[in-house]
Structure 1
Amino acid sequence: MEKFPEIFIEKKNHRKEPQLLIKFQYNDKLVDVMRKIDGAFWSKNLKSWYISDSKNNLNVILEKFKNLAKINIENKKKLFKRNLTDFQKTFLNNFYLYLKGKRYSKSTIQTYTFFVADFINFHSTKSLDELNNKDVELFIETVFIERNYSISTQRQLISSIKLFILFYPTTKINNLELERPKKSRKLPSVLSQEEILAIISATQNLKHRAIIALIYSCGLRISELINLKLEDFYIERKQLIIKNGKGRKDRYVSLADSFIPLLSNYYYSYKPKTFFVEGQQKGKYSAESVRQFLRKSCKKANIKRVVTPHTLRHSYATHLLENGVDIRYIQSLLGHAKPETTMIYTHVKRKDLMEIQNPLDIALQKIKRTDNNNKKVLLSRRI
């Protein structure tokens, strides 16, 4: 009888949603089983399969693998099995409705409710009125550090606790003492214009090609693409309106002249009814599907770096800046609330960087000018 590697299941927040991670040493049979599970995807960054965290999905995983391999649902990081009282469940439901009334986005509401539920569950033996800042610190040290959550995720936790305090002011947690860790200031990954064209050229599927071209040429977020409707296109004005973007803001972006024929070809070939791109039963397209075919196109284009839909947006902004477009216009086109967010692209603008002469080159040029015997000074030889 074939022996399969052990399977580990853990819970983690990924792509702003609670997920179940399924990890195991590579095995063709187990991989085939995972591929057949609806809603399960592979994450290169996590080096794990993942699926939306729900009791039903957990039962599906357990059922699919129960006769194949041993399943470990701890993997050194305990999978939270919440044991909430009826009062706590009612409280969380009301907190969910409170966030909904504040008009937060669906993903933010789910994330904040998830964190507060875990926090309450962790201190299940303590009443909500007795919770204090030490309890928050203990939760972070025991759960967040143990689960290896990112700094941005920890910032989300603090934001959720601050809203929890506003919703339930009788708690002893002091809002002023809660500090969010500083953001990591990572520079965005940017592709060259040649690489962008190589990706589009390597994408043979017409729908996929139209998606990639539109994301790049309009600087769209993946959520904006998925929610984009046919009525949002103003072909005669060569404009596209992005409705209810991040921060509930609308904005206009221009459509590239070169994109119009591709758009027409795609529309008459696929005949979408409501949304620009549609999935099964003419519903919204899947964000993960976009990420998957983009990875395949990058592989065909021989691009080794990790490229996501947001990389195309970063590239759009950087190329606009390199072409001399004012930073204030770029802020408007991207839908940024603060100019500081857009300013990050000034750090990756290749055109300005190329114009700055390196001090090593300057030093070598000085030697050439002062020493006639060194007409050709090279670092590869003795200076």
Structure 2
Amino acid sequence: MFKAQTITHKGQSRIAVYFENKPELTSRFKQLPGAKWSATLKVWHLPATAAYLKQFKIITEAVNIHQKKEPIPIKPELAQFIDWLKSRRYSNSTVKTYTEALRIFLSFFGEKKTEEITNTDLIYFNNQYILKNKLSASYQNQMVNAIKLFFSIVQQKQLDVSKIHRPKRAKTLPNVLSKEEVKAILTAHNNMKHQTMLSLVYACGLRRSELLNLMPIHIDSNRGLLLIKQAKGKKDRVAPISEKIVNLLRAYYKAYQPKKWLFEGQLAGQKYSEKSLENVLKQALKKAKINKPVSLHWLRHSYATHLLESGTDLRFIQELLGHSSSRTTEIYTHVSTKSLQNIKSPFDDL
């Protein structure tokens, strides 16, 4: 029912536990002390305590590693791969994701030398690890990307990764809120900081990390612009900010006087945490009595869709969102009601 193995996640020794995606199993696992879900690895994990290691029948060497608090050794070729990623200035999150993916992949084959790994091994790994453990399609793609880069750059061995059966990408539409729903969410909080954070996400179509990385110097109130530094893909961009949002930001700044980051935690100079921001949204949804599973990214999707419905050119929306390809932005045409409302159903003529 359960399959477990030790991993290193965010610098800590953890136990990844794989099981069928059933509500009763998930509910049982969540009750275990220290149980957490990794959105990056798409797996539930536990602290690598001696009790858990024994419970899940993991080899005793892992117990010693945990007790001594020694880092799990990294294979030389994996260390080389990490150095290469850093030298190319890949983001920290990408380095962590690719490193953990390669660590799992290489550990799967035990003592087998990396230069001896073949395309047949890749297919076997895909079937016996990813598919067998019912890991997500996005995780499978991340794993494929890491393997391809590792063998083509570090090992200088071009594997035919097409033989790893990539899952077909699901053609999902972005989730969009009505303007009435957005207003209810943004006005739900009486706390000025919470209201300002959520308002800025929607007003400028920001990603979560983009909001939390803002500094007061990034606001150009005279020109009505917000500078978004080193966003996804390490790209800078600007977004227009109206007088209404400028006034809100001025009132917030006067009340809170942030030292370094525009939005700080309880300690001065400390960046506001992602988890706290998610809780701010959850509280707003509860107060607004909105039962949809809204995430912060829904506000970004709603921003883009509402711009399109108000007549903003798709090319401008692409620039405002920081999309590299226009095809990414075009998805909003499928959820915009502007054109759909003009279509008359043949049912009405019956």
TM range (shorter): 0.7 to 0.9
* Counterpart position of 2:337: 350
State the alpha-carbon separation in 2 of the partners of residues 291 and 19 from structure 1: 24
The one-letter amino acid of 2:103's match is A
Does the Cα contact within 8 Å between 2:81 and 2:150 map onto a contact in 1? yes
Residues 146-179 of structure 1 show CA distances to partners (whole Å, capped at 9, x for unaligned) of 3322212211111111111123436573356456
Structure 2 residue 308 is the aligned partner of structure 1 residue 321: yes
* Counterpart position of 1:135: 121
**Percent identity over paired residues:** 37
| Map 1:68-83 → 2, pairs under 5 A | 72-73=55-56
Structure 2 residue 165 is the aligned partner of structure 1 residue 189: no
State the alpha-carbon separation in 2 of the partners of residues 71 and 304 from structure 1: 41
SS in 1 for 2:253: helix
State the alpha-carbon separation in 1 of the partners of residues 292 and 342 from structure 2: 25
Against the structure 1 CA distance between its residues 100 and 205, is the aligned structure 2 distance closer, same or farther, given a 3 Å change threshold? same
Residues 252-287 of structure 1 show CA distances to partners (whole Å, capped at 9, x for unaligned) of 101122212221121111111111111243222111
Structure 2 residue 211 is the aligned partner of structure 1 residue 225: yes
Against the structure 1 CA distance between its residues 233 and 170, is the aligned structure 2 distance closer, same or farther, given a 3 Å change threshold? closer
Structure 1 unaligned blocks of 5 or more: 1-6, 35-39, 364-383
| Cα RMSD for the two superposed structures | 3.7
Against the structure 1 CA distance between its residues 9 and 87, is the aligned structure 2 distance closer, same or farther, given a 3 Å change threshold? closer
State the alpha-carbon separation in 1 of the partners of residues 73 and 99 from structure 2: 15
Structure 2 residue aligned with 1:272, among 245, 249, 258? 258
State the alpha-carbon separation in 1 of the partners of residues 306 and 230 from structure 2: 25
Against the structure 1 CA distance between its residues 41 and 338, is the aligned structure 2 distance closer, same or farther, given a 3 Å change threshold? same
Aligned length: 329
SS in 1 for 2:283: helix
Give the greater-gyration-radius structure (CA). 1
Does the Cα contact within 8 Å between 1:158 and 1:179 map onto a contact in 2? no
State the alpha-carbon separation in 2 of the partners of residues 284 and 146 from structure 1: 39
Deviation at 1:97, TM superposition (A): 0.8
* Counterpart position of 1:308: 295
SS in 1 for 2:75: helix
The one-letter amino acid of 2:253's match is Y
* Counterpart position of 2:23: none
Does the Cα contact within 8 Å between 2:8 and 2:100 map onto a contact in 1? no
Structure 2 residue aligned with 1:340, among 327, 332, 335? 327
Does the Cα contact within 8 Å between 2:6 and 2:16 map onto a contact in 1? yes
Deviation at 1:20, TM superposition (A): 6.4
Deviation at 1:19, TM superposition (A): 7.9
Structure 2 residue 265 is the aligned partner of structure 1 residue 288: no
| Map 1:121-270 → 2, pairs under 5 A | 121-169=107-155, 171=157, 173-175=159-161, 177=163, 180-270=166-256
* Counterpart position of 1:369: none
SS in 1 for 2:341: helix
Structure 2 residue aligned with 1:107, among 93, 96, 118? 93
Against the structure 1 CA distance between its residues 230 and 335, is the aligned structure 2 distance closer, same or farther, given a 3 Å change threshold? same
Against the structure 1 CA distance between its residues 128 and 21, is the aligned structure 2 distance closer, same or farther, given a 3 Å change threshold? closer
* Counterpart position of 2:47: 58
* Counterpart position of 2:21: none
SS in 2 for 1:202: coil
State the alpha-carbon separation in 2 of the partners of residues 100 and 135 from structure 1: 28
Deviation at 1:90, TM superposition (A): 2.1
Out of 125-134 and 170-179, give the one that drifted further. Answer: 170-179
